[in-house]
Amino acid sequence: MGLLTQDEYKAIAAGLDLPTAAFIDGAFRPAISGSTFETVNPATGEKLADIAACGAEDVDFAVTKAREAFDDGRWSRLHPSDRKDVLIRLAKLMTRNARELAVMESIDSGKTIYDCETVDVPETIRCIKWHAELIDKIYDQVSPASDDHIAMVVREPVGVVGLVLPWNFPLLMLAWKIGPALAAGCSVVVKPAAETTLTALRVAELAMEAGLPRGVLNVVPGHGAEVGEPIGRHMDIDAVSFTGSTATGKRFLTYSAESNAKEVTLEMGGKNPAIVMDDAENLDRVAQHIVNGAFWNMGENCSASSRLIVHKSVKADLLARIAHHAKQWNVGDPLDPETRMGALVSKAHYDKVCGYLDKAENIILGGKADKGFVEATVVEVPGNDHELAREEIFGPVLSVIEVSGFDEAINLANDTDYGLCASIFTANVKRAIRGARSLRAGTVTVNSFGEGDSTTPFGGFKQSGFGGRDNGIHAHDQYTQLKTIWIDLADDADEAVD
């Protein structure tokens, strides 16, 4: 399916029927308080809709319905192949409505329609399908017990799960969480980011149409204090999976400790290094990867390549090539398919990124910002202690640090509070493997920028997160518990006393 014109996308946007209510127990419902909040198009500042502003009482209601659904087994004890069929139908319905979802995602988040059509929506559907197909292919185990015993190690769904989403990839992060959670048999209560609520509500509606039983997938919109914290503190939620900032993620550990010690999986921030050594091949190709890693999705990406650690002998040549490729990342109307960089998600986040630009001492490319849009920016910093080299900006800003050798590059890369992703560019295979092993990050790419795919686990070290992984078979671990079933086979007669 090819891309449309800017005018055609605008016509679709104008005709969208936007969901605005919470989705609980299989139906759209207003917040119990009747409160709402505005959601706006970050590219235009225009109001899109008034969304139900839920609170603790709505969370209670959603958890009660999710618990009822889990306990009566309408989903949790459904045959694995039947759960698979429902999720496959959901993926088909999302495919049928892919263009609507792409436009809705773009106007709600500021993301480009190009990315929504070619990356976000297709990858979302692929993720749902991948976990659906995995449902009936994960086997339990039998331990090597004695001849008089059988010990089975079985997986069981953890129960009711709170899923707290970020605003930078609303659809894709929804899929990363509901895919394995629903596949495992859990019931879920989803809190989308207040900035980007629309597509989660639409997917919940499609899930009901696909045959997902009521109460299994609930979406409770609202702000962090009113919805996120009640989810984190709820005594009847068994686990929480959170993606977002490191500061907010840490709060969920407190919520868990002060409530029912629920399991918590955190996927948080990053300040990801891209190391380019003096023997890197094809610097033009390297520059393309660096630019894509730094500026894709306006840099609003926890795995963005935000630190370029480059050998001094190739720095000038590489920066010239980066400048050339960065020109192709134009800023403009997100609904124009020719636009590569849209608007930052909110006025507050735009102001935050502009604050970092004000601290830049040596801007060598870009640096301009206007009305929610920030152009691709490259900043040279004097060292790794500089604020722009240490703090997660979450915008299209690449900080450049010069090094003289391999060990210095690895040490600088690891000198951070984060450990989500890293990349190394070198033609030396031994150096590449040594570097990949030495880098303290959950995902390391060699001679490329990337995050893996649906088959590979995604998550970080240090303050980038812990407690589990998204994607791959390993994602199912955070939504299941292991149970040992020990069966005694000894013949009672053999144990009788003469």
DSSP character string of 35-96: -EEEEE-TTT--EEEEEE---HHHHHHHHHHHHHHHHHTTTTTS-HHHHHHHHHHHHHHHHH
**Could you tell me which residues are beta bridge partners of residue 155?**
482
User: Residue 498: what pLDDT?
Assistant: 46
Choosing from 116, 302, 375, 421, the catalytic residue is: 302
Q: Give the separation between CA 474 and CA 456, rounded to whole angstroms.
A: 8
How many other CB atoms sit within 10 Å of the CB of residue 128? Answer: 27
Reduce the DSSP state of residue 291 to 3 states and report it: helix
User: Residue 491: what pLDDT?
Assistant: 84
267 is catalytic: yes
Tokens of 416: 């951070």
**Could you tell me which residues are beta bridge partners of residue 22?**
29
Q: Give the separation between CA 157 and CA 153, rounded to whole angstroms.
A: 14
User: Residue 495: what pLDDT?
Assistant: 55
Burial of 258 (0-12, 13-18, 19+ CB in 10 A): exposed
Digits of tens for pLDDT over the chain (498 positions)?
699 999 999 999 999 999 999 999 999 999 999 999 999 999 999 999 999 999 999 999 999 999 999 999 999 999 999 999 999 999 999 999 999 999 999 999 999 999 999 999 999 999 999 999 999 999 999 999 899 999 999 999 999 999 999 999 999 999 999 999 999 999 999 999 999 999 999 999 999 999 999 999 999 999 999 999 999 999 999 999 999 999 999 999 999 999 999 999 999 999 999 999 999 999 999 999 999 999 999 999 999 999 999 999 999 999 999 999 999 999 999 999 999 999 999 999 999 999 999 999 999 999 999 999 999 999 999 999 999 999 999 999 999 999 999 999 999 999 999 999 999 999 999 999 999 999 999 999 999 999 999 999 999 999 999 999 999 999 999 999 999 999 999 987 555 444
Pick the closest to residue 379 from 436, 307, 313, 451 (CA basis). Answer: 307
Q: Give the separation between CA 361 and CA 364, rounded to whole angstroms.
A: 10
Angle at 236 between CA 234 and CA 242, to 5 degrees: 55
Tokens of 477: 């671990």
Pick the closest to residue 293 from 422, 454, 105 (CA basis). Answer: 422
54 is catalytic: no
Reduce the DSSP state of residue 304 to 3 states and report it: coil
Q: Give the separation between CA 52 and CA 166, rounded to whole angstroms.
A: 18
In 211-263, which residue ranges form alpha helices assigned H by DSSP?
Answer: 229-233, 246-257
Q: Give the separation between CA 185 and CA 138, rounded to whole angstroms.
A: 13
Which residues neighbour 225 within 8 Å (Cβ) at sequence distance 6 or greater? none
User: Residue 492: what pLDDT?
Assistant: 73
The residue behind tokens 């918590």 is 264
User: Residue 73: what pLDDT?
Assistant: 98
Q: Give the separation between CA 37 and CA 14, rounded to whole angstroms.
A: 20
Choosing from 117, 205, 229, 267, the catalytic residue is: 267
User: Residue 367: what pLDDT?
Assistant: 96
Q: Give the separation between CA 79 and CA 457, rounded to whole angstroms.
A: 26
Q: Give the separation between CA 94 and CA 101, rounded to whole angstroms.
A: 8
Q: Give the separation between CA 345 and CA 342, rounded to whole angstroms.
A: 9
